[in-house]
């Protein structure tokens, strides 16, 4: 059976290409003496999380507790939740996870630490906590190394918690991250709280991760599949992209327009620097100009070849992570051959 | 139990408000002598589809076969699939549906009609087909009334098919739709193929649907929940919006920035004319400036009140339809009270 027999729209994952992307990153990290802790938000599949560990990752990263619960259920033994856990319901779930495996969390305010300290009181099995630092991406994180130290001391003072280090989601180009970590590390060491982990992240600058010399680990996510956005960042080429959306031409009302059965509920409305909502492999000059929910409206005015209703085409999405969250399953392929269909176990784990 | 006890992010649907939106539209349609055939792509819930029928809708509309299969399974007896059905796999599924209930489909090219004619051959139980017309929205549809007539004749000539009329997804403002329908209807009548259905659609111009005097039915979808986009179109006010995303403040790193646990995997990246990625009811001056996958980054520089980590807030999405496709369940509320939690039965029905 080939993927052309599949009904559309659906997700195809070129398993060898994904594996090659994973291997390349692990080889790089090994060479640099950097630990990898891949983020599973991109694939949401225990199969690939296990493969990442097998290749040498020290553990995985999840963004949501629900993702961590799915991965723990599949036997993953070491999970960093790179997210502030807030509220009694989530703390109770975190406690259950922590009873079963190594789980590490984040904090960027004493409110988080208070929550953790109230829920975790066993000094013999403390909860590891990383202090999140805003090194320039202007998302979460304390604003200065001084604030990082103050929170580290709060963590260290709680019997049921263990200060493990710092974490950041860096700005593009990793600008300033190393200096930030250096200053914070110095202050922490002086205060008798040497960080064992300095965790940096992101796929765009994955192959520059070694320039953050103070980082001990890196958390890339999208590097497994790549997408148009990552290709724009220089992480690879279109032919390295492992995930495509298979779609069908359902209408061709004019010579310069055709319509695909993949709209914003399949490709998402995420944009990137390249034009349109995805790259059509078979028609590289076509532009997916407009997405309605279930229609991709393609400007074919610059296409060299014409389409026929019923043609199946493959799209490299702009941003692959939210796309794999929209489908209940992915189809692993090897060339044209359909190898296996897998349920996206952590799809829709929003909480 | 109140909705404040729910873990976040999650979807709240104010059931009375939704019902009021449905009732208002049906009352309008009844007054205008127009049939309503609501599109269920917005709510994807059999509960609301049944309520729409109870209020007087003549049937429902689905965009995908998978949605129709779910609705048929829930007992909905009359479904229009406002989509060209292409390919053997889908035609086989369509045949199964057609054996069980009244199902109508679309065509805008002879390739579709050929597919239907090959699959449906029983003259005693023909498949009703509408010819889709591009009246100005530049999506699917034949380009002229002459082409509509030619396809209608193709449908009428196939023993297992029945020509039922025309369908369009109109341009904003319904500009030109009535003229288009008038010309096509005239030609069809002259050719002995009077259309029994002239189907118009869309929520933005729902309350101007009567100006398309030749239309026999209208297919609104988003009108059940409304959203920021529809409010921008004048369909209602923010206080008419029935669906909100409940989210939690998980970080407040600076005085003018806070972070929500709802990102593009909860709110989608869909934009509208209003700034940002959604309207925060409790902080109307806040702007959800950036969405990462699981973080909503809020510019609070113009907010009158400060937030605290752990605060729960409610967001009216820019575009509600893809949002309700991201959550496995919705919570029906009445004021603050949680009434019921319902599985989104047709979520993720992409094929």
Q: What are phi and psi of A27, to 5 degrees?
A: -60, -45
Which of B311, B292, B306 lies closest to B250, judged by CA?
Answer: B311
Six-digit token pair at A162? 């263990």
- Residue A68 CB contacts under 8 Å (≥ 6 apart), including other chains: A62, A79, A81, A97, A103
Tokens representing A78? 């070491």
Give B-chain residues touching A325 at CB under 8 angstroms. Answer: 265, 326
In whole angstroms, give the CA distance from residue B68 to residue B60: 9
B2 close to B332: Cβ distance less than 8 angstroms: no
d(CA A56, CA A22): 10
How would you class B115 by CB atoms within 10 Å of its CB: exposed for 0-12, middle for 13-18, buried for 19 or more? buried
Q: Do A261 and B86 touch (CB under 8 A)?
A: yes
pLDDT at residue A166, rounded to an integer? 98
Which residue among B8, B111, B270 sits closest to A264, beta carbon to beta carbon? B270
Contact A76, A120 (CB under 8 A): no
The answer to whether A293 contacts B321, with C-beta atoms less than 8 Å apart, is yes
pLDDT digits (tens, 9 = 90+) for B130-183: 999 999 999 999 999 999 999 999 999 999 999 999 999 999 999 999 999 999
Helix axes A65-73, A88-100, angle to 10 degrees: 30
Q: What is the DSSP letter of A322?
A: H
Q: Which chain B residues contact residue A63 at CB under 8 A?
A: 293-294
Q: A302, exposed or middle or buried, with CB in 10 Å at 0-12, 13-18, 19+?
A: exposed
Is A132 exposed, middle or buried (CB count within 10 Å of its CB: 0-12, 13-18, 19+)? buried
From the list A143, A250, A293, the residue facing B41 with the nearest CB is A293
- Cβ contacts (< 8 Å) between B111 and chain A: which residues? 308-310
User: Where on the phi/psi map is residue B125: left (φ > 0), alpha (ψ -120 to 50), or beta?
Assistant: beta
Say whether residue B104 is in contact with chain A using an 8 A CB cutoff. Answer: no
Q: Is the pTM of this model over 0.95?
A: yes
- SS3 of residue A323 by DSSP: helix
Percent of chain B predicted with pLDDT > 70: 100
- Contact residues, B window 118-147, toward A, CB-based 8 Å cutoff: 132, 134, 138-143
- In this predicted model, what pLDDT tens digit does every residue of B15-72 receive, in sequence order? 999 999 999 999 999 999 999 999 999 999 999 999 999 999 999 999 999 999 999 9
Helix then strand count (H, E) for chain B reads 10, 17
Residue whose entry in the numeric block shows the structure tokens 């610059």: A302
For A279-313, the pLDDT digits (tens) are: 999 999 999 999 999 999 999 999 989 999 999 99
As a whole number, the mean pLDDT across chain B is 98
Q: Which of A8, A61, A82, A86 to mutate to test the interface with B (most CBs of B within 10 A)?
A: A86
> Rounded to whole angstroms, how far apart are CA atoms A158 and A148?
16
- For B209-261, write each residue's pLDDT tens digit: 999 999 999 999 999 999 999 999 999 999 999 999 999 999 999 999 999 99
Q: Is B286 within 8 Å of B300 (Cβ atoms)?
A: yes
Q: Give, for A245, the enclosing helix (H) or strand (E).
A: strand A243-254
User: CA angle, A274 as apex, A333 and A262 as ends, to 5°?
Assistant: 50
Low-confidence residues of chain A, pLDDT below 50? Answer: none
Around Cβ A122, how many Cβ atoms within 10 Å?
11
């Amino acid at each position: 059976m080939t993927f052309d027999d599949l009904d559309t729209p659906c997700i195809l994952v070129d398993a060898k290409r994904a594996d090659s992307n994973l291997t390349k990153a692990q080889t790089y990290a090994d060479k640099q003496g950097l630990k990898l802790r891949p983020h599973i938000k991109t694939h949401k599949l225990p199969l690939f999380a296990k493969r990442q560990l097998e290749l040498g990752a020290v553990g995985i990263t999840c963004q949501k507790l629900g993702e961590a619960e799915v991965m723990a259920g599949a036997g993953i033994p070491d999970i960093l939740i790179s997210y502030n856990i807030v509220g009694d319901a989530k703390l109770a779930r975190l406690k259950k996870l922590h009873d079963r495996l190594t789980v590490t969390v984040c904090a960027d305010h004493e409110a988080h630490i208070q929550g953790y300290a109230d829920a975790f009181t066993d000094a013999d099995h403390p909860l590891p906590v990383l202090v999140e630092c805003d090194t320039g991406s202007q998302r979460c994180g304390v604003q200065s190394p001084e604030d990082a130290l103050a929170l580290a001391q709060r963590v260290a003072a709680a019997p049921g918690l263990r200060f493990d280090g710092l974490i950041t989601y860096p700005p593009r180009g990793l600008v300033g991250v190393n200096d930030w970590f250096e200053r914070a590390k110095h202050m922490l060491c002086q205060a008798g709280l040497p960080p064992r982990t300095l965790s940096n992240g992101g796929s765009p600058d994955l192959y520059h991760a070694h320039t953050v010399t103070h980082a001990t680990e890196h958390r890339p996510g999208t590097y497994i599949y790549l997408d148009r956005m990552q290709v724009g960042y220089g992480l690879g080429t279109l032919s390295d992209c492992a995930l495509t959306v298979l779609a069908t031409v359902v209408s061709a009302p004019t010579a310069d327009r055709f319509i695909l059965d993949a709209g914003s509920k399949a490709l998402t409305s995420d944009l990137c620097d390249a034009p349109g909502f995805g790259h059509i492999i078979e028609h590289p000059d076509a532009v997916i100009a407009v997405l309605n929910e279930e229609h991709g409206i393609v400007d074919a005015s610059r296409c060299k070849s014409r389409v026929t209703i019923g043609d199946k085409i493959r799209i490299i999405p702009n941003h692959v992570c939210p796309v794999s969250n929209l489908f209940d399953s992915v189809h692993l392929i090897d060339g044209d051959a359909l190898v296996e269909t897998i349920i996206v176990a952590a799809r829709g784990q929003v909480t």
